[in-house]
Amino acid sequence: MSAQNTTTGDDLADLVAVARRVAQERYAPMAEEADRARQTLPPEERRYLASLGWLGIALPERFGGAGGTFRQALAVIEELAKVYVPAAFQVFEANVGPAQHVNRLGTEEQRKRYLPAVIAGELTMAIGISEPDAGSAATDLTTRAEIVGDEVVLNGRKRWISGGGEADAYLIYARMSDEPGSRGIGAVIVEADRPGMSYGARERLMGFRGIASADVVMENVRVPVDNILVRPPDGFRKLFTNFSIERLGNTTMSLALGQAALDAAVAYVQQREQFGRPIAEFQAVQLTLADMLLQVESARLLRDRAVAELDAGHVNTLHVSLAKLAANEMAKRVTDLAMLLHGGNGYTEEYGLERLHRDAHGWAIAGGTPTMQRIRIASELLGRSFDQRRPSASQKAPVKQGASTNQEAPTNQEGTA
């Protein structure tokens, strides 16, 4: 199967069908055991995903991608994530994660250097924003990237980095000037094997067990100035507008987890009998199913609206935050309800629902917590910026509701990585 076969057809349904089949035949048999063993996706599996064209769906054809839409990329992510998040994560990182930052913000030389290898499954990238003392307040980050001659010297520690210790290159958000807050921040690509790079112990997360997570530590790490992706004072604004794309990937992961839990519950309640009847015949069970479907479909519609806008060339940050918030909270609730409807079986590893639930919690925190999405939503709704450091002070925001690509600014000091 070539990239052309799976990603360039007009019919999204064909692509979804192939992704669904690959997920079921290839990944369903390994999902439970790999999660238990905290096993990350083997490189040969990443190359297999590349052979299907899925690591370059939304990346340019001149680098080996399909030049397709985000809708297509997210459809594949969803089908894989319903079954096995670590496989979906590779498609996520390539199409909506750090590689997409390089595609949209980088120079042509940077694109040439990284994108063909990412699309071929030979190189992985991770994103380093969060730090021990800068999470929701991303603009508090203290990692420094100082330009010395024709090199950049990096010092600092990043935390919770998905792919940390395993990725081949990191997109590091760093302070590049003495200007405070977001105006001093830029981003630099740092290869994993540069002298001075080291990694913390692998985190033992509640979910995300097939995705490595570790601190990334930089001590006098030197890279050429050509590795600078964006510079202050407007680099952070560009990064965070672009980060909306990653948030729609995050939204899709949550959507997949909720949909998978709902599908499992629908099958189970019709087969499981109590009091001499399938439990689907009890009204309380029916009401629960109706609520689950309502939540999944609501999140899906919000996601689809934001993706359609993105594919039309317009990043609507309000719509992205609404979609992420809805999908994140939906996934936690719906996976929880699915466990409940499965009774004791829902509480076993064998049925896989507790895995969906554990992962749902992770996606809600990653990419900015639900609380931070609410703050952004309210800020856009009111058209005002609320400085989180001085709760009583506020000012008129320079942006309108649902600000578009180029004008978008963080509406307050938070970055919500």
Ligand X SMILES: Cc1cc2nc3c(=O)[nH]c(=O)nc-3n(C[C@H](O)[C@H](O)[C@H](O)COP(=O)(O)OP(=O)(O)OC[C@H]3O[C@@H](n4cnc5c(N)ncnc54)[C@H](O)[C@@H]3O)c2cc1C
Q: Does 405 bind ligand X (CB under 6 A)?
A: no
Nearer of residues 106 and 368 to ligand X, judged by Cβ: 368
CB 170 within 8 A of CB 126: yes
Nearer of residues 74 and 375 to ligand X, judged by Cβ: 375
In 10 A of CB 198, how many CB atoms?
14
Q: Does 373 bind ligand X (CB under 6 A)?
A: no
The residue within the footprint of ligand X, chosen from 186, 368, 402, 410 (CB under 6 A), is 368
**How many residues make contact with ligand X (CB under 6 A)?**
23
299 Cβ contact list (under 8 Å, min separation 6): 251, 254, 255, 258, 323, 326, 327, 330, 331
Nearer of residues 115 and 375 to ligand X, judged by Cβ: 375
Q: Does 187 bind ligand X (CB under 6 A)?
A: no
The residue within the footprint of ligand X, chosen from 90, 136, 139, 317 (CB under 6 A), is 136
Q: Does 130 bind ligand X (CB under 6 A)?
A: yes
Q: Does 128 bind ligand X (CB under 6 A)?
A: yes
The residue within the footprint of ligand X, chosen from 371, 395, 406, 407 (CB under 6 A), is 371
Nearer of residues 239 and 337 to ligand X, judged by Cβ: 239
Closest CA to 226 of 198, 175, 196, 191: 191
Q: Does 362 bind ligand X (CB under 6 A)?
A: yes
Q: Does 372 bind ligand X (CB under 6 A)?
A: yes
What residues form DSSP beta bridges with 386?
A: 394
The residue within the footprint of ligand X, chosen from 129, 285, 323, 334 (CB under 6 A), is 129
Nearer of residues 72 and 252 to ligand X, judged by Cβ: 252
Nearer of residues 79 and 166 to ligand X, judged by Cβ: 166
Nearer of residues 189 and 280 to ligand X, judged by Cβ: 189
Nearer of residues 52 and 171 to ligand X, judged by Cβ: 171
Q: Does 160 bind ligand X (CB under 6 A)?
A: yes
Stretch that binds ligand X, among 11-19, 33-41, 72-80, 124-132 (CB under 6 A): 124-132
Q: How far is CA 330 from CA 83, 192, 245, 265, 406, in A?
A: 18, 36, 20, 15, 30
How far apart CA 348 and CA 362 sit, in angstroms, is: 19
**Euclidean distance between the first and the last CA atom of the chain, given in angstroms as a whole number:** 36
Residue 135 Cβ, how far from ligand X at the closest point, in Å?
2
Query: Interaction with ligand X in 76-115: which residues (CB under 6 A)?
Result: none
In degrees rounded to 5, what are phi and psi of residue 314? -130, 120
Stretch that binds ligand X, among 64-72, 241-249, 289-297, 362-370 (CB under 6 A): 362-370
Q: Does 369 bind ligand X (CB under 6 A)?
A: yes
Nearer of residues 126 and 239 to ligand X, judged by Cβ: 126
Tell me, residue by residue from 374 to 403, as one string, x for binding to ligand X by CB under 6 A and - for no binding: -x------------x---------------
Q: Does 162 bind ligand X (CB under 6 A)?
A: yes
Dig out the tokens for 127 from the structure: 């994103």
Nearer of residues 159 and 342 to ligand X, judged by Cβ: 159
Tell me, residue by residue from 193 to 212, as one string, x for binding to ligand X by CB under 6 A and - for no binding: ------------x--x----
Binding-site ranges for ligand X (CB under 6 A): 126-130, 135-136, 160-162, 205, 208, 362, 365-366, 368-369, 371-372, 375, 388, 416-417
